Chains A and B, each alone.
Chain A
Amino acid sequence: SQELEQSPQSLIVQEGKNLTINCTSSKTLYGLYWYKQKYGEGLIFLMMLQKGGEEKSHEKITAKLDEKKQQSSLHITASQPSHAGIYLCGADTVGGADGLTFGKGTHLIIQP
């Protein structure tokens, strides 16, 4: 089965600083999804990447997909307290019928 490894597991960043979270797959990526979860709440979809080299941005968050490395990175520029939470990457399973496989998440804390 496909496994997704996220790094780092947790991250403490001073407000205003940039940060990067990585997601590496054990198998070929057919689609890579980034979600954010605030503590005690459900997951919120951020963005989806499907093609190698694809890059998407939403406000101050940019995600890239490196197909060769089977890896995606999520970059936050000038972090704010609102960015705090758990970031999870998810990947399509082969065939796409049974949902997404998720990484274990990266806990992000923003220090004022």
Chain B
Amino acid sequence: DAGITQSPRHKVTETGTPVTLRCHQTENHRYMYWYRQDPGHGLRLIHYSYGVKDTDKGEVSDGYSVSRSKTEDFLLTLESATSSQTSVYFCATENRKWDSVNSGANVLTFGAGSRLTVL
């Protein structure tokens, strides 16, 4: 278990307000991901990080930004929340450590999820 903690677990907010979701890991994993899960769409990648201050966009990155100022924390920010961003957000880490090469096995470990409702 990668020891992933997501906060908050549940949040209700209003359209136009900023929201930040936090993902904290205790395993020193290099790669971290933010996904959203929606009915009919499954899991879709928002952003990912391959190191401190190294991030890149995923499939559905519009309206989201991320930051990773230290290994343990990966923040997802909605600058101005919209109703279309109502979703369940999952953070994941990958079991490649800083000094390992890509063995081709990308096992992801997921957090418990953060349910966001934008009214």
Contacts and interface: CB of A to CB of B under 8 A. Distances in A.
Interface residues of A, number: 26
A42 B90 contact: yes
A100 B110 CA distance: 12
Contacts of B41: 104
Interface string B12-48: 0000000000000000000101010000111111001
A42 B94 contact: no
Contacts of B106: 31, 33, 92, 96, 99-100
B102 interface: yes
A38 to B, nearest CB: 11
Nearest to B92: A99
B79 interface: no
Given A42-B90, A42-B110, A45-B109, A98 B45 contact: yes
Contacts of A1: 59
Given A48-B107, A50-B104, A98 B48 contact: yes
Interface of B: 31, 33, 35, 40-45, 48, 50, 56, 58-59, 90, 92, 94, 102, 104-113
Interface of A: 1, 30-31, 33, 35, 40-45, 48, 50, 88, 90, 92, 96-105
Given A42-B110, A88-B43, A98-B56, 18 more contacts: A31-B105, A33-B107, A33-B108, A41-B112, A42-B111, A43-B43, A45-B107, A48-B105, A48-B107, A88-B42, A92-B106, A96-B104, A98-B45, A98-B48, A99-B31, A99-B45, A99-B92, A102-B42
30 contacts: A1-B59, A31-B105, A33-B107, A33-B108, A40-B113, A41-B113, A42-B111, A43-B108, A44-B110, A48-B105, A48-B107, A50-B105, A90-B108, A92-B104, A96-B104, A96-B106, A97-B50, A98-B45, A99-B31, A99-B33, A99-B35, A99-B58, A99-B92, A99-B108, A100-B106, A100-B108, A101-B45, A102-B44, A104-B42, A105-B42
